[in-house]
């Protein structure tokens, strides 16, 4: 009996020792030879996986570090990839003694030529922001996908409507033809949330394109098609939070992976606490550690493994998809030291790359805190080349909010630009009148197309990189009060059977066609006019509802005169003799000659853009 019992125990012990293990997640599952970031930390996840020992058998690749956590289901394995390692696929093996208990393939790739020297966006570009689910439904077959919690329902303003990568790719010629040179889609990564998944900001898999948009390969193909048309692809990156349905939430790597231990605690949104020398520490902590909503768990970037994971994820997508830029969401809500490390790591790898951060504040000092080159009193060293210019955005919307006589509105816009001394590089900011989180500009001006066109002209000619919102070129208006699902409405013509089609012009009214043509001509002119991209800005204080400024570079000069009044105004050139004395000009939009020897007539609610030509001997 004892012998039988011993035999049973021995067999059970052997069976336990020989049991099979499964690698449920290996992230990242690929990398590249020749990256400066050549020490890659892999997150390996599977039941009881920490009891195993990793091994690789590929020339030029070694396991240089292994970290185990309190959670036995995780291993963090660092691969050191030599510069002369051979590209190819090999297995990440996990050993139980001498036995291979689990394995997963890993792909080591060769980099595309010139990858590290890629050029990002700059003020020569014009960015087109789209909400992919609402742009074009190119493949109705992926509107609803088995295993994804939310199915398509176009009747629901807050539901999924079916827009996808196939639709975007099929209409890239429209994007390029309008004069846009960069495409910014809101997040395309998997959002397997039960509700509101269309917007993309509650990511549930950081290495996977949402299958209702398409595949990773489709995303890479879109980037290549865009580049072929002269359009770069920006990725909307979210470092601050994830979706509550992310697989991490079922098995957190560490107790501190999610702020507040994975329990909802709302942020106070007090963004000034990051720089405020008088701020109570608990207020600052509540800002950066608080959650946006119960559906968006807040990440703790102070955890070194999570910080490395997020940095590598951004590098992976840049290299994989051939990105030209990143728009980083909710920038200031993340840990400041991590943001420095993240930005530096990306620019170390891609020195000419572009990134723009979202800091939704009306204070130039608060926004400037995050831009590369800013010397901050608190010692924070920023690495972001660009920030979204929310202070100018707010002033612009107020200036064009409604037709007013006099200088009310324009003075605020003029004075906001006067704060440019606070920025290390104001010319690198991204300027905009609207985005996916605001009411549309046309609603802001109560449907006044004249004011709308003026604002478009301002964005195209003021300093910075202009960003435009999809559909506004055909006068999509939306509600006057914020209602996200209706603001992010479907692009006309993006769905079969639409009565209006922005891409072909079918069904558009005369005013819609005119607005579209106006922006197209404006942006195409801007593409070929370096002085409005990189020239210096000189502006004159608004008088009688007229705001005048110049872009100049020592060779070329462009004059812009904005008349916000409902009626025409006369402008005396003598005030601007520095640029106009002895000069001739032409109206950029009409091509008609302009004389600066007599008063200029500015139509009501108009932007007059003039090319200024200096004769021999003029200053």
CB 54 within 8 A of CB 65: no
pLDDT level of residue 15 (50, 70, 90 thresholds):
very low
Interior angle at CA 274, CA 269 and CA 275, nearest 5: 130
Instruction: For residues 435-446, give the mean pLDDT.
Output: 97
CB 37 within 8 A of CB 310: no
Residue range 71-95, pLDDT digits in tens: 999 999 999 999 999 999 999 999 9
Percent of the chain residues past pLDDT 70, beyond the cut: 95
Question: Catalytic: which of 133, 139, 210, 358?
Answer: 358
**Which pLDDT does position 18 carry in this prediction?**
61
**Read out DSSP for 215-248?**
-HHHHHHHHHHHHHTT-EEEEEEE-SB--TTSGG
Residue range 124-176, pLDDT digits in tens: 999 999 999 999 999 999 999 999 999 999 999 999 999 999 999 999 999 99
pLDDT level of residue 407 (50, 70, 90 thresholds):
low
Task: List, in order, residues 6 or more apart from 95 with CB less than 8 Å away.
Answer: 52, 53, 54, 55, 101
Model pTM?
0.96
Rounded CA separation 322/119 (Å) = 11
Rounded to the nearest 10 degrees, how much is the dihedral formed by the CA atoms of 283, 262, 300, 185?
Answer: -100
Residue 111: C-alpha distances to residues 115, 116, 117, 201, 295 (Å): 7, 9, 12, 29, 37
Half-sphere exposure of 268 (CA within 13 A, CB side): 14
Percent of the chain residues past pLDDT 90, beyond the cut: 94
Question: Catalytic: which of 329, 359, 473, 484?
Answer: 329
Q: Is 358 a catalytic residue?
A: yes
**Which pLDDT does position 619 carry in this prediction?**
45
SS3 for 528?
A: coil
Residue 619: C-alpha distances to residues 538, 555, 575, 600 (Å): 16, 11, 15, 21
**Which pLDDT does position 325 carry in this prediction?**
98
pLDDT level of residue 615 (50, 70, 90 thresholds):
low
- The arrangement of strands across the sheet holding 430-432 comes to 386-387, 354-357, 325-329, 232-238, 182-185, 127-130, 465-469, 430-432
CB 432 within 8 A of CB 460: no
SS3 for 69?
A: coil
Peptide bond before 28: cis, by omega within 30 degrees of 0?
Answer: yes
**Which pLDDT does position 2 carry in this prediction?**
52
Rounded CA separation 322/535 (Å) = 29
Lowest mean pLDDT segment, chosen from 3-17, 132-146, 225-239 = 3-17
Q: Is 423 exposed, middle or buried (0-12, 13-18, 19+ CB in 10 A)?
A: buried
Smallest Cα–Cα separation from 494: which of 132, 220, 246, 126? Answer: 132
**Which pLDDT does position 449 carry in this prediction?**
97
CB 55 within 8 A of CB 63: yes
**Residue at token pair 């204080």:** 541
Helix, strand and coil in the chain, % to nearest 5? 30, 25, 45
Has residue 258 got a pLDDT over 50?
yes
Has residue 8 got a pLDDT over 50?
no
**Which pLDDT does position 618 carry in this prediction?**
44
Residue 152: C-alpha distances to residues 162, 163, 197, 200, 272 (Å): 6, 10, 10, 14, 39
**Which pLDDT does position 97 carry in this prediction?**
96
**Structural domains for the chain:** 18-110 (2.60.40.10), 239-386+416-432 (3.20.20.80), 534-614 (2.60.40.1180)
Residue range 311-370, pLDDT digits in tens: 999 999 999 999 999 999 999 999 999 999 999 999 999 999 999 999 999 999 999 999
Residue range 265-310, pLDDT digits in tens: 999 999 999 999 999 999 999 999 999 999 999 999 999 999 999 9
Torsion sign (Cα): 390, 205, 158, 165: positive
User: Which own/partner pairs from 568-572 qualify as long-range (CB within 8 Å, at least 24 positions apart)?
Assistant: 568/601, 568/602, 568/603, 568/604, 569/544, 569/545, 569/601, 569/602, 569/604, 570/599, 570/600, 570/601, 570/602, 571/546, 571/599, 571/600, 571/601, 571/602, 572/599
Smallest Cα–Cα separation from 545: which of 418, 447, 400, 393? Answer: 400
Task: List, in order, residues 6 or more apart from 154 with CB less than 8 Å away.
Answer: 161, 162, 490, 495
**Which pLDDT does position 402 carry in this prediction?**
65
What does the mean pLDDT of the chain come to?
95
**Which pLDDT does position 1 carry in this prediction?**
41
**Which pLDDT does position 401 carry in this prediction?**
85
Smallest Cα–Cα separation from 60: which of 108, 121, 124, 122? Answer: 108
């Amino acid at each position: 009996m004892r012998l039988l019992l011993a035999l049973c125990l021995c067999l059970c012990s052997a069976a336990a020792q020989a049991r099979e293990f499964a690698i449920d997640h290996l992230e990242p599952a690929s990398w590249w030879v020749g990256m400066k970031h050549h020490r890659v930390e892999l997150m390996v996840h599977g039941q009881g996986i920490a009891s195993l020992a990793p091994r690789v058998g590929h020339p030029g690749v070694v396991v240089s570090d292994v970290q185990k956590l309190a959670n036995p289901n995780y291993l963090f394995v660092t691969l050191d990839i030599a510069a002369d390692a051979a590209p190819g696929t090999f297995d990440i093996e996990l050993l139980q003694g001498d036995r291979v208990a689990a394995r997963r393939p890993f792909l080591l790739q060769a980099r595309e030529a010139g990858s590290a020297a890629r050029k990002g966006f700059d003020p020569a570009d014009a960015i087109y922001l789209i909400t992919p689910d609402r742009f074009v439904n190119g493949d109705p077959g992926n509107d609803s996908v088995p295993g994804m919690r939310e199915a398509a329902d176009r009747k629901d303003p807050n539901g999924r409507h079916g827009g996808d990568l196939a639709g975007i790719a099929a209409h890239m010629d429209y994007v390029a033809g309008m004069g846009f040179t960069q495409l910014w889609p809101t997040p395309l990564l998997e959002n397997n949330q039960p509700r509101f998944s269309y917007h993309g900001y509650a990511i549930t898999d950081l290495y996977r394109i949402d299958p209702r948009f398409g595949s990773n390969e489709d995303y890479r193909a879109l980037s290549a098609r865009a580049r072929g048309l002269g359009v770069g692809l920006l990725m909307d990156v979210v470092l601050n939070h994830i979706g509550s349905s992310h697989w991490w939430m079922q098995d957190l790597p560490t107790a501190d992976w999610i702020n507040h231990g994975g329990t909802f605690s709302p942020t106070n949104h007090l963004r000034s606490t990051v720089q405020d020398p008088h701020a109570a520490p608990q207020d600052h902590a509540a800002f950066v550690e608080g959650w946006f909503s119960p559906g968006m768990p807040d990440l703790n970037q102070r955890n070194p493994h999570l910080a490395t994971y997020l940095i590598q994820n951004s590098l992976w997508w840049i290299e994989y998809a051939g990105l030209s830029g990143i728009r980083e969401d909710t920038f200031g809500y993340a840990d400041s030291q991590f943001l420095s490390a993240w930005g530096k790591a990306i620019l170390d790898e891609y020195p000419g790359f572009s990134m723009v951060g979202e800091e939704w504040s009306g204070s130039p000092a608060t926004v400037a805190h995050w831009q590369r080159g800013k010397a901050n009193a608190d010692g924070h060293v920023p690495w972001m080349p660009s920030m979204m210019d929310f202070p100018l955005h707010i002033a612009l919307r107020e200036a064009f909010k409604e037709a007013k006589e006099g200088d009310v509105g324009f003075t605020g816009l003029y004075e906001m630009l006067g704060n440019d001394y606070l920025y290390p590089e104001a010319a690198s900011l991204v300027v905009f009148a609207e985005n996916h989180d605001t009411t549309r500009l046309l609603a802001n001006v109560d449907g006044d197309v004249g004011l709308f066109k003026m604002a478009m002209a301002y964005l195209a000619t003021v300093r910075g990189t202009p960003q435009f919102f999809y559909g506004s070129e055909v006068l999509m208006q939306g509600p006057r009060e914020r209602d996200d699902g209706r603001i992010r409405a479907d692009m006309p013509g993006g769905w079969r059977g639409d009565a209006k089609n922005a891409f072909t012009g079918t069904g558009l009214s005369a005013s819609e066609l005119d607005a579209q043509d106006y922006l197209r001509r404006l942006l195409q002119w801007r593409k070929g006019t370096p002085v409005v991209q990189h020239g210096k800005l000189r502006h004159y204080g608004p008088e009688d509802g007229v705001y005048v400024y110049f872009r100049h570079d020592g060779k070329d000069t462009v004059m812009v005169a904005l008349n916000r009044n409902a009626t025409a105004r006369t402008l005396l050139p003598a005030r601007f003799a520095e640029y106009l004395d002895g000069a001739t000009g032409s109206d950029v939009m009409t091509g008609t000659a302009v004389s600066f020897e007599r008063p200029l007539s500015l139509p009501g609610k108009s932007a007059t853009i003039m090319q200024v030509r200096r004769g021999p001997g003029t200053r």
